[in-house]
Amino acid sequence: MNQRPLTDYRPAIWNPELIDSLNTPYSYQAHGTQLEKLRQDAKRLLSSTSDPCLLLNHVESMQRLGIAYHFQEEIDYLLNTRIQPYSPDDHDLHTTALRFRILRDNNFPISSDVFGKFMSREGKFLDSLSRDVKGLLSLYEASFLGVDGEVILDEAKEFSSKNLRALLGRLESTSIDVAEQVKQSLQIPLFWRMPRVEARNFIDFYQKKDAKSSTLLELAKLDFNLVQSTYQQELKELSRWWENLGFKQKLSFTRDRLMQSYFSTIGITFKPQFSKARIAATKFINIVNTIDDIHDYYGSQDDLKLFDSAVKRWDLAAMEELPDYMKICYFAMYNLVNELAYDVLINQGIDVLPCLREAWTKFCGAAFVESQWCYTGYTPSMDDYLKNCWISIGVHGSLNFARAHQQGSRSPMANTPLHCLEDQLLYWSSVICRLNNDLATFQHESKTGEVASFVKCYMVEKGVSQEQACDEIRELIKHAWKMLNTERRRSDLPPLMVEMCMDTPKLSQCLYQHGDGFGVAIELTKDVMSSLIFRQIPI
């Protein structure tokens, strides 16, 4: 039997007083007319040209500036009618790769065979392309939209990354901005970036470009500040909820990570109309963190068995057998589910209670299995670990809580059961998040005594060093992204759920890219969170 691990989580760095003092001069009431004028100007920009290359550039700029959600119908129409999957006029690598990436990213069918014109008979990209920085960068970004078995895009990634690295030294002395772009992409490709973080960063870059649209830039800045005003109001409401819940006083051994939880929901669904979805998902994540800490650090095996049984029974009478600290957590979880289910039933006419109960039951069951591994010192096989821990990472529950409250979901989501545990899109989304988490947290959790980690499982099963295990897990993450892309093309989930499944792994890339930006090394993500929630963009 292993000794229970000890926790050394740092205190929260954003206190309730700071959150309550958040203020912004921007509001939809005061700036709504200006926003609508800019939206109409941007629509005219899209309709004023018939040049496919220019249209592709406009669409890419809108997506990276974070304003494409205003024009999704117009973009879909253009991609359906004006942008063909293959154009004989595309003689440069950049345009072909951009066309491919925009179409596939918007889920339009396009084959990687379009790159055949740039390849030799042996299936290799032509050496003459090895110094085309713009084309190589576009090819590199396009390669990350590949699906399982797409050999051309595997070759594209290898060819482009090798040559971009070779050119980087010269670029750093001749074109600093391009060099920064290349370095950033080699570190984390565009397709893996959290959309709202990318929008904030790209606004600064776009502003420096000579070939830019002042309409799109002005709209992006105003939209960012207005969406931020929504985030601030949501965070204030959540801060009051969290204080009133009393966890910080009664369960002080657990993490106080309200900001990280809320930031996570921006990664899951950032659009302003999904305010209720973010609030519901944040509440779920914050209570999940507490239950996770109880299982990892505080609860005895006897207490955890009682808790697991009580969750499966799902009634207040089951709470009587629990110790006091678990009663608080159980009651909060029980009330959250019932309140949310009631609200959705009244406002949308959908019964989501069975789904939300199942989300909690599955999560708590998976957390209990992990606690048993830790308690006995057992290291599971990699397969057994993933079968359990794709659930315990909490993506399934977070997305279902968010989905239950997405405005505008009455059609088509109202006719789709909120049960998708076996869906492969959700599975691969969760696997990427789990593996990113484990790579970032393994060192810390090893010191605190936790056993269950995919890194440890990999080292034991394969008989390799920690360094080699981590390198090979990074390759598994790349494979998981391919599987996610594959499942996206054939998923029958509602579009909003598909979008969340695709965006949630991007959140995990942001949180865990340089360490545990959620639990321990919060300074790694402090500035990113501040830029999205606290600091306005000067206009």
- 23-36 per-position pLDDT tens digit: 999 999 999 999 99
Distance, in Å, from the CA atom of 528 to the CA atom of 539, rounded to the nearest integer, reads: 20
Distance, in Å, from the CA atom of 464 to the CA atom of 475, rounded to the nearest integer, reads: 15
Report the percentage of the chain scoring pLDDT > 70.
91
Tens of pLDDT, residues 237-285: 999 999 999 988 888 777 788 999 999 999 999 999 999 999 999 999 9
Q: Which helix (H) or strand (E) holds 448?
A: helix 424-448
Residue 404: pLDDT above 70?
Answer: yes
pLDDT at 416: 46
Please compute the mean of the pLDDT values over residues 515-521 and round it to a whole number: 60
User: Prior bond to 412 cis, omega within 30?
Assistant: yes
pLDDT at 430: 96
Q: What is the pTM of this model?
A: 0.92
Distance, in Å, from the CA atom of 398 to the CA atom of 472, rounded to the nearest integer, reads: 28
Residue 101: pLDDT above 70?
Answer: yes
User: Sorting pLDDT into bands at 50, 70 and 90, what band is 297?
Assistant: confident
Residue 400: pLDDT above 50?
Answer: yes
Tokens representing 279 are: 């609030």
3-state SS class at 377: coil
The CB-side HSE value for 68 (13 A sphere, CA atoms) comes to 23
Among the listed residues 388, 252, 259, the one whose alpha carbon sits nearest the alpha carbon of residue 328: 252
Q: Which residues contact 425 (CB under 8 A, 6 or more apart)?
A: 484, 487, 488, 491, 493, 498, 501
Maximum mean pLDDT: which of 165-179, 199-213, 396-410, 511-525: 199-213
pLDDT at 522: 65
Report the percentage of the chain scoring pLDDT > 90.
65
Tens of pLDDT, residues 47-90: 988 888 899 999 999 999 999 999 999 999 999 988 877 777 67
Residue 344: pLDDT above 90?
Answer: no
| DSSP code per residue over 264-297 | HHHHH---GGGHHHHHHHHHHHHHHHHHHHIIII
pLDDT at 253: 78
Of 368 and 518, the one with more pLDDT: 368
Q: Which residues contact 4 (CB under 8 A, 6 or more apart)?
A: 297, 298, 300, 374, 375, 449
Contacts of 471-474 with CB under 8 Å at 24 or more apart are 473/435, 473/438, 473/439, 474/439
Tens of pLDDT, residues 470-507: 999 999 999 999 999 999 988 888 888 899 999 999 99
Please compute the mean of the pLDDT values over residues 415-427 and round it to a whole number: 64
Of 450 and 192, the one with more pLDDT: 192
pLDDT at 141: 98
Query: Quick check: 232 and 275 in contact, CB under 8 A?
Result: no
Tokens representing 535 are: 């600091």
Residue 311: pLDDT above 80?
Answer: yes
pLDDT at 175: 83
Domains of the chain from N-terminus onward: 45-219 (1.50.10.130), 255-405+417-534 (1.10.600.10)
Low-confidence winner among 345-359, 372-386, 417-431 (lowest mean pLDDT) = 417-431
Query: Quick check: 358 and 298 in contact, CB under 8 A?
Result: no
Distance, in Å, from the CA atom of 116 to the CA atom of 96, rounded to the nearest integer, reads: 11
User: Sorting pLDDT into bands at 50, 70 and 90, what band is 1?
Assistant: very low
Helix (H) and strand (E) counts for the chain?
A: 23, 0
To the nearest whole number, what is the mean pLDDT of the chain?
89
Sign of CA pseudo-dihedral 411, 415, 421, 422 = negative
DSSP bridge pairs for 313: none
pLDDT at 521: 53
pLDDT at 375: 86
pLDDT at 3: 45
pLDDT at 69: 96
Q: How far is CA 480 from CA 307, 474, 487, in A?
A: 33, 10, 10
User: Sorting pLDDT into bands at 50, 70 and 90, what band is 374?
Assistant: confident
